[in-house]
Structure 1
Amino acid sequence: MRPHARLQPWVVCYYYVEPDPEVPATWILPVDERQLILPDGHSEIVFALAGAFERWRVDDAVVSTTMSSSYVIGGRSHSVNTRSIRRIRLAGIKLQPDALWHVTQTPLGEFRDATLALTELNHRPLLRLENAVADARSVAAIRQLFDDFLLHELRDSVAQDPLVNALRRHVGRTCGSLLISQWLRHHQITERTLERRFIARMGITPKQYARVVRFKHSYLQFMSDSPRGASKRYLESYYDQSHFDREFTAFFGVTPAAMASRSAIYRTTVSDHLLSSEAK
């Protein structure tokens, strides 16, 4: 869902997830019915309204977390697999990290590359919003609650770090294809200074952010070609095919060939939908 026009510089979208009404409530979820969620360089506020789901990193299938309460995500550099344990219903806000910083007044480095429960954050306005969203009787009502909350919280100018902003703009212009070391030399900034300020604002390091943006751009190209990757435009940001294949496997846990053959056991519909709508 698109936010209010005044919020669009800061808010990417709202979203709502509910069980398929065609599926009976007694239906037992298949063991391997998992959804893979790609990192995208944005922050999120997620309101868990019903049910629960399991969440684990693609590169660490041993350690999983059961998610049944609301949380925020500062920045994320890795992909996660999710699988419903009970039929879930949730609503979320995908927004720029600066906006999350402004709303919570909390450096994102305090929950670096991880989630933080709203109860641990203990931000009263967000906890009140959580209760209001839980009581909402329609998706339209939830959207209005989100608009009203953010129009109030973001009514003042959002303070930004000019150094972090300059790097983010450069990463965006180059689609992540830049050497951070060159940028540091050009701006005469030490790596330690940049990393400290960037993590506080973004929740991940500059190199992780550039890697995410580069892969996001290439994956959109890979997805838009028919058949997938036919024109090889997705290789523009990589040294060669093997370089892209390694990154693809790191984010997906499977090779591009396995993905193209649909032999992967998970779905990517959520990530594909959000990334495609962001690119429009």
Structure 2
Amino acid sequence: MLYRTISPPPQLAPFVRAFWVLEGAASTEAPYIHRTLADGCAELIFHYRGRFDELTGKNEEQTASFRSGIHGPHSRFRRFIVRQDFGIFGVYLYPYALPLLFSRPANVLSNEMPSLEALSGNEGKILEEQVMPADHAERIAFITAFLEKKLLSRAAPEPPVFAAIRNIIRHRGTDKVKELANTYALSTRQFERNFKFFSGFSPKLYSRIIRFQSVQDAYKDPNSSLTRLAYASGYYDQSHFIHDFRTFSGYHPRHFFFKKTEATAFLENESR
């Protein structure tokens, strides 16, 4: 299996955190199951080889996913299965890119996975047709042109909440809502309303998700302990840490950090 990330061009860096590629082998006899965890950002995804089915419910009912589409900011984990060789090209987006790209509030797309054609009509269909048969360099060029057209003409002046979202990500979910509102000269109510529109969630829930994400950075640290991870990530006690981790990943943190899981298998072969 191959997983790698690619830095975006400088002009898109305020909106795109990274491009990424995931490729692997699977078959009917040896399917690959992938688990996505809660995430404060969104992803534009293209299944250029193979297609995943989503597993839902206790009976693991299977629903075919899109060929290309958006995985909105999400507060819960999801599971997917593929039974053939696969290739995915992704664009990891700050959540506030969604309203600029698709003229929809981020909270309308949170925990949703609409197809690109459903969001962008013929324009999305054309992008899908360009990306699927291309090589990775061409994919980046096609997607960059699409994003530049949509984002760079509509983002100025940048709303203060964009910086607030980036600060929460940078500070790993430790910022206080009132302090952020004061920083950007907004009332708490106005800040929370704008924040939800551009991030997909309330500031409090968004900060919890980002704090959970920050803990995952220690996945490959052989010296990790649950207590150290909890306090280093801003949790007041281990019980809150365990509760959030189970809510956002479906795993007890001990299972996640010290065993190979559906959520971490692809990281074993990460390259840059």
Give the secondary structure class of the aligned counterpart of 2:235.
coil
Q: Does 1:177 align with 2:182?
A: no
Query: What is the letter of the counterpart of residue 211 of structure 1?
Result: R
Shift of 1:231: 8.1
Q: Specify the alignment match of 2:10 in structure 1.
A: 5
Give the secondary structure class of the aligned counterpart of 2:236.
coil
Q: How does 1:159-174 map to 2 (within 5 A)?
A: 159=156, 162=159, 164-165=161-162, 167-172=164-169, 174=171
Q: How does 1:114-263 map to 2 (within 5 A)?
A: 114-136=112-134, 138-156=135-153, 158-159=155-156, 162=159, 164-165=161-162, 167-172=164-169, 174-180=171-177, 189-191=187-189, 193-220=190-217, 222-229=218-225, 232-236=228-232, 237-262=234-259
In structure 2, what is the Cα distance between the partners aligned to 1:201 and 1:230?
33
Q: Unpaired runs of 5+ in structure 2?
A: 1-5
Give the secondary structure class of the aligned counterpart of 1:102.
helix
- Structure 1 pair 224–146 and aligned structure 2 pair: CA distance change class (3 A): same
Shift of 1:272: 8.1
In structure 1, what is the Cα distance between the partners aligned to 2:178 and 2:188?
9
Shift of 1:255: 1.6
Give the secondary structure class of the aligned counterpart of 1:232.
helix
Shift of 1:82: 1.9
Shift of 1:69: 2.6
CA contact (8 A) 2:47 2:68 kept: yes
- Equivalent residue pairs, number: 265
Q: Specify the alignment match of 2:3 in structure 1.
A: none
In structure 2, what is the Cα distance between the partners aligned to 1:7 and 1:248?
31
CA contact (8 A) 2:38 2:76 kept: yes
Give the secondary structure class of the aligned counterpart of 2:251.
coil
- Structure 1 pair 76–267 and aligned structure 2 pair: CA distance change class (3 A): closer
Query: What is the letter of the counterpart of residue 28 of structure 2?
Result: I
Deviation per CA, 1:108-140, whole angstroms, max 9, x where unpaired? 23333211112322433322111111231x222
Q: Does 1:266 align with 2:266?
A: no
- Structure 1 pair 229–166 and aligned structure 2 pair: CA distance change class (3 A): same
Match of 1:94 among 92, 95, 103: 92
Shift of 1:94: 1.2
Give the secondary structure class of the aligned counterpart of 1:18.
strand
In structure 1, what is the Cα distance between the partners aligned to 2:158 and 2:175?
20
Aligned-pair identity in percent equals 24
Deviation per CA, 1:10-37, whole angstroms, max 9, x where unpaired? 21111233334xx7xxx42436x42222
Shift of 1:239: 0.9
Q: Specify the alignment match of 2:45 in structure 1.
A: 46
Shift of 1:273: 8.1
Deviation per CA, 1:196-238, whole angstroms, max 9, x where unpaired? 4333222233222111111111221x32532333881442310
Q: Give the TM-score normalised by structure 1.
A: 0.77
Q: Specify the alignment match of 2:105 in structure 1.
A: 107
Q: How does 1:32-71 map to 2 (within 5 A)?
A: 33-56=32-55, 65-71=63-69
In structure 1, what is the Cα distance between the partners aligned to 2:14 and 2:120?
26
Give the secondary structure class of the aligned counterpart of 1:14.
strand
CA contact (8 A) 1:51 1:68 kept: no
CA contact (8 A) 2:30 2:83 kept: no
Query: What is the letter of the counterpart of residue 131 of structure 2?
Result: V
Shift of 1:62: 5.3
Shift of 1:64: 5.3
In structure 2, what is the Cα distance between the partners aligned to 1:211 and 1:246?
11
Q: Unpaired runs of 5+ in structure 1?
A: none
